């Protein structure tokens, strides 16, 4: 029995070996990545199956939350006044502008 190989046969063998090697490399890289990012087996989440207990809020926490809400409302009122004042000055300064910010055709003809 005689085996003969020419250049085309060797090229095909190399091509198949590269394809198989690439597939194996991707599988091994995926396995390594999976092992790196998965959570440890022994790590258990406490109370995973039980419903979470609702705790009573601390009066100090309630007071802090209410203070933060009051400050936020005060800042919002200040911002609303500032925006309203800014819009009023824009209307007085440029009354002939359209919504898109382009001058009307009448104003262009007058200039």
Q: Mind listing the pLDDT tens digit for each residue in 22-74?
A: 999 999 999 999 999 987 777 666 666 666 677 888 888 999 999 999 999 99
3-state secondary structure of 103: strand
What is the rounded distance in angstroms from the CA atom of residue 101 to the CA atom of residue 90? 12
pTM metric for this prediction: 0.37
Q: Where are the domains of the chain?
A: 8-40, 58-111
State both tokens at 109.
């003809």
pLDDT the model gives residue 89? 72
């Amino acid at each position: 029995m005689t085996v003969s190989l020419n250049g085309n046969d060797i090229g095909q063998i190399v091509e198949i070996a590269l394809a198989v090697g690439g597939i194996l490399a991707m599988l091994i890289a995926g396995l390594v990545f999976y092992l790196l990012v998965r959570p440890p087996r022994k790590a258990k989440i406490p109370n995973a199956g039980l419903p979470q207990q609702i705790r009573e809020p601390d009066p100090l926490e309630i007071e802090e939350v209410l203070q933060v809400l009051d400050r936020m409302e005060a800042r919002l009122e200040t911002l609303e006044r500032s925006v309203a004042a800014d819009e009023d000055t824009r209307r007085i300064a440029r009354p002939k502008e359209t919504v898109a910010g382009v001058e009307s055709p009448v104003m262009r003809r007058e200039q």
